[in-house]
Structure 1
């Protein structure tokens, strides 16, 4: 009886917490808002959207057409201010330019209560920007990182945020990651969660909150997954809004994502990334709540 009452209270809290997802709509590919929306809805989130761009397909395909929606974002801001629409949490994904960051700041500023800001600065992987993206986007991500309460970059994106050269595999070690986390803290970044950190043969998620630095070891599955970051972020956000425990939310998101990839992965000679059919795993997410 007590457990059921607690679950109901968690569901009520999530429904009352109005979440604004700020990211791109992708035509082909189970990524970005098309991946995040079903997960957070399953986790009983009350979500709204502000698209930053419309993209023809996932960047993993090698080329993409991008329509920048900065003007639409500005128009939406103007209407929302008139309607006095309020948001408790703002989750940002890909931001195309510094003007979009200014729009996000304006949305934050007109709220009656400062929302929680969580940023997943989608820029690249393996030390490089995704095709079709520019250094203007990097600057936007650096600006929003200073405004956010929590950022969730992978190691490549973290290097861009800190203006650090991406290291060779042999140069990545615990001390290097700690030094980068300390640099981020000194720059004024409140909390950071760094995914896709490979040290030797092991994989980790690193993070810090206040004075605590932690890492969570991740089971390695020999495949690359398009949209894995969006799934991780959605699971993390949903759990964090329920429990407000950074490390526990990271562990939860990593565990659920790993289990999903295990079920989806099939050994293949193809070098293409797989994409998770997230609709097949929403029951798993629901049962984990």
Structure 2
């Protein structure tokens, strides 16, 4: 959870709530601000998480889905796997947050990225960007402008790691369009679905978290995966358009509040 700059839990909780989810957060780290800022504090919460989940067990908390994102340490992978064991019926929704633009985030290490890869096996939905897909499949980062054959190859490599379905985010061929791709074990990479969205002429921190949260909300509201990815992409685009009017918008994060009705409409 970041105290300043909208991303991670400060994005996920309201977005999922708008889609009708009863959100039960497990904070894996506490930041004063997100890592785009030059100065931030970082507190790893690993030591408190076992007792936190023990208390849930004693109160018979049940979960329909486990949506994981940023991790504070490699040891937290075991915490998520504990949730998988204790809630075997829950959907496994994995946003393997590790980096962007070809680089790992400042608090990440090779050890943590290697541990994160364990969550791909058995994931019902895996949602990497191209940096994260490269880390997971141990290939060089290809940049965002990749052709259709490379997209298919990456999707097949991610499915081979054990994911049931993959949403690959952020392909940019410099033609004014951003593309996301959806593939499943049934379709394979060759049967992927392409979802295109108008590219805006600026970038904003936190859009990946907003996209993944909106996608998970749509899935849990009963929408199919390709439709959920389309809904999430348009939600983020609309939010970015509103964010452009916010001071220091590139750092502060995506201003999604005015567009939450797009998700609430899924469950009305």
TM-score (norm 2): 0.89
Q: Where does the alignment leave 5 or more consecutive residues of structure 2 unmatched? A: none
2:36 equivalent in structure 1: 60
Retained in 2: the 8 A contact 1:142–1:161? yes
For residues 226-273 of structure 1, the C-alpha deviation after alignment (integer angstroms, 9 at most, x for no partner) is 1111111121111111224111111111112112212322599x8944
The question of 1:283 aligning with 2:261 is answered: yes
Q: How far off its partner does 1:97 sit?
A: 2.9
Once residues 214 and 242 of structure 1 are traced to their aligned partners in structure 2, the CA distance between those partners, rounded to angstroms, is 21
CA gap 1:245/1:267 in 2 versus in 1, 3 angstroms: same
Structure with the larger helix share: 1
Q: In structure 2, which of residues 79, 88, 96 is the aligned counterpart of residue 121 of structure 1?
A: 96
Q: In structure 1, which of residues 83, 87, 107 is the aligned counterpart of residue 59 of structure 2?
A: 83
1:175 equivalent in structure 2: 149
Which segments of structure 1 move beyond 6 Å, counting only runs of 4 or more? none
The question of 1:198 aligning with 2:176 is answered: no
Retained in 2: the 8 A contact 1:63–1:132? no
For residues 123-148 of structure 1, the C-alpha deviation after alignment (integer angstroms, 9 at most, x for no partner) is 11110012232222212321112242
CA gap 1:114/1:204 in 2 versus in 1, 3 angstroms: same
Q: In structure 1, which of residues 234, 253, 264 is the aligned counterpart of residue 232 of structure 2?
A: 253
CA RMSD of aligned residues (A): 2.2
1:39 equivalent in structure 2: 15
CA gap 1:132/1:98 in 2 versus in 1, 3 angstroms: closer
Retained in 1: the 8 A contact 2:70–2:97? yes
Structure with the larger strand share: 1
2:196 equivalent in structure 1: 217
Once residues 56 and 18 of structure 2 are traced to their aligned partners in structure 1, the CA distance between those partners, rounded to angstroms, is 26
CA gap 1:216/1:284 in 2 versus in 1, 3 angstroms: closer
Equivalenced residue count is 262
For residues 45-80 of structure 1, the C-alpha deviation after alignment (integer angstroms, 9 at most, x for no partner) is 111111111112111114432111111111112222
Once residues 16 and 128 of structure 2 are traced to their aligned partners in structure 1, the CA distance between those partners, rounded to angstroms, is 19
Once residues 168 and 279 of structure 1 are traced to their aligned partners in structure 2, the CA distance between those partners, rounded to angstroms, is 31
TM-score (norm 1): 0.83
Q: How far off its partner does 1:222 sit?
A: 1.0
